[in-house]
Structure 1
């Protein structure tokens, strides 16, 4: 039987850390009192992306005024505000961060921190092979967690990121994508093939 679950909400490891240097503060005689539109937009993008594409990931966000922390920012490579750093590495600066860039970078870090465990099927409605995969696993009596990648944007980013770690960055990722006992299987055909091999081994050992 399948069971539905979101991404984990409790974590044993350190969170991904976003540090945002925004245009503001003071350095010596220089002070900034003019609002930074790109900085405000970056903050809005981070907040909405964490609520949608990155829902369920473990992320901490810190904001600092760029001028006030100028020496520190320069040493970290943040030469233009707004600058966004993920775990100390600059992923965007000088303009409002791209939403896709943010989601992809954080999800890669999340996937690296939290290897997938158990049985998972990533799929979507009106996907014939997704239905076949679920029916196949149900017939085998195997429990699994099903992630709808359309209803849950975070599941889509997680599926793509985890799958590409196994098949390469240039390979198109389709649904379903399946993991059994934390090991990558692939799509429906690979699922059936995996069980056929297991049956062959079992028959040979009998």
Structure 2
């Protein structure tokens, strides 16, 4: 399986007569955040981490738009620079990278607890005897990032994302209305739109 590649360029290294042996505090903090995110939020996702001294390799991130250490790239795209890393930004970038490389397998509903369309979609699949995984995008931030990473390339960035978002046998089908058509479930009026 392909991995998401994280590169950290921290303040340190050498260039000509200049040498920095101790990375800045924000660079050290960023490295600690990356390690923790890889252990927790990204557990189960194949990820590699490469740490570079910015002063020694300053031109590598510069060509990608990174100039202020700490600089974090995911799959050679700058996602953050110049301060202590926001762990949500890293988590989202890595999960989106993973979604581009690893197709979804099986039956999945991405929804939220207070969505009547989501609950009915779960009921329809249960009544049809279709095993599925339910992901609450409010309670599980990783599920939100995965849903967005999988659905935005399909529907486009200008289309608002509602819930539920449903995949059957690894194929995107859409939302509750499309699921009802596929399994021929009765239409039950609802007051919300997910």
Relative to the length of structure 1, the TM-score reads 0.76
What does residue 24 of structure 2 align with?
36
1:128-185 deviation per Cα after TM superposition (whole angstroms, max 9, x unaligned): 2222111111111111122232343211110122122222213232322110111112
2: CA distance between counterparts of 1:83 and 1:133? Answer: 42
1:59 equivalent in structure 2: 47
Q: For 2:52, what is the secondary structure of its paired residue?
A: strand
Corresponding position of 1:133: 121
Q: Which residue of 2 aligns with 1:81?
A: 69
Secondary structure of the equivalent of 1:19? strand
Structure 2, gaps ≥5 residues long: 186-194
Q: Is the 8 A contact 1:52 1:154 kept in 2?
A: no
Aligned CA distance change for structure 1 residues 175 and 59 (closer, same or farther; 3 Å):
same
Task: Write the mapping of 1:1-206 to structure 2, written as runs, cut at 5 A.
Answer: 13-70=1-58, 72=60, 74=62, 78-196=66-184
- How far apart, in 2, do the equivalents of 1:194 and 1:105 lie? 33
Change (3 A) 1:39 1:178: same
Return the TM-score normalized by structure 2. Answer: 0.80
Alignment root-mean-square deviation, CA: 2.5
Once residues 58 and 118 of structure 2 are traced to their aligned partners in structure 1, the CA distance between those partners, rounded to angstroms, is: 52
The whole-number CA distance in structure 1 between the counterparts of 2:132 and 2:180 is 16
- Point out where structure 1 has 5 or more consecutive residues left out of the alignment: 1-12, 198-206
- State the Cα distance separating 1:186 from its structure 2 match: 1.9
Is 2:147–2:165's contact at 8 Å kept on the other side of the alignment?
yes
1:34-82 per-position Cα deviation (integer Å, ceiling 9, x unaligned): 5412212322332343345434322111212222334555566543321
1:156–1:54: structure 2 CA closer, same or farther, 3 Å change rule?
farther
Give, in whole Å, the separation in 2 of the partners of 1:63 and 1:156. 28
Paired residues, number = 185
Find the aligned partners of 2:83 and 2:33 in 1 and give their Cα distance: 12
